[in-house]
Structure 1
Amino acid sequence: MTSAVAAAILVLAVGTYAFRLVGPLLHGRIELSVRVQELLSAGAVVLLAALLVTGALTEAHGFAGWARPLGVLVGGVLAWRQAPFVAVVLGAAATTALLRATGVA
């Protein structure tokens, strides 16, 4: 490993720990307005939804096929119906596996 790579890793590690330390240190010292708190909450939901959509629909820079999105849909419906987490995961995985076994890519 070259010294430049080691230095970059060290800088990133220190930055990561410093970023994590700032939250507990500033907790209670900085107060955000209600509007900013609402925007941060909405931003988190949008980010998670975008990650879900890209993870469910794409694979190797292309469409993942129909089995994976349908499995995610089944998992989403089970979660919405408040099924246990294990049932949600197994339902989504089983749906995807069965569709792929029947030739639905």
Structure 2
Amino acid sequence: MSTGSFAVAVAVLALGTYALRFGGLVAGARMPFGEEAERAVDRAVAVLLVAVALTTTLYDGTEAADAARPVGVAAGALAAIARAPLVLVVLIAALTAALVRLA
């Protein structure tokens, strides 16, 4: 893919994203969600984020990831649950994965 076609693709995706966001704002103002619908959307967002995180953790392209990645992610998740600062969470995850790879 050439640089020009890549730039056009990025611009089209960016414009499409902003158009969808603007459409959501306009539609949200005209058709407010009920309380149940808002809870369902909140849950759907959480489920989607967890699914993306798990897929990225367990797979590297079309193949399974090495054992160090899930262990590092688990260590980072535990640090995040313990409310460690973000920099520390990332460092713990990276160092844990590196130590597992060295072992």
Provide TM-score, normalisation by structure 2. 0.80
Quote the Cα distance in structure 2 between the aligned partners of 1:65 and 1:8: 32
Change (3 A) 1:97 1:36: same
Change (3 A) 1:64 1:32: same
5+ residue gaps, structure 2, are none
SS at match of 1:28: helix
Change (3 A) 1:28 1:70: same
Quote the Cα distance in structure 2 between the aligned partners of 1:89 and 1:19: 32
Q: Which has the higher helix share?
A: 2
Aligned residues with identical type, % of pairs: 39
Decide which moves more: 92-101 or 13-22.
Answer: 13-22
Change (3 A) 1:19 1:68: same
5+ residue gaps, structure 1, are none
Residue 9 (structure 1) shift: 7.2
How many residues align? The count is 99
1:55 alignment counterpart: 56
**1:27-82 deviations in Å (ceiling 9; x for gaps):** 53321011111110110010001011111111131211210000000000000000
Provide TM-score, normalisation by structure 1. 0.78
1:74 alignment counterpart: 75
Residue 25 (structure 1) shift: 3.6
Quote the Cα distance in structure 2 between the aligned partners of 1:45 and 1:100: 30
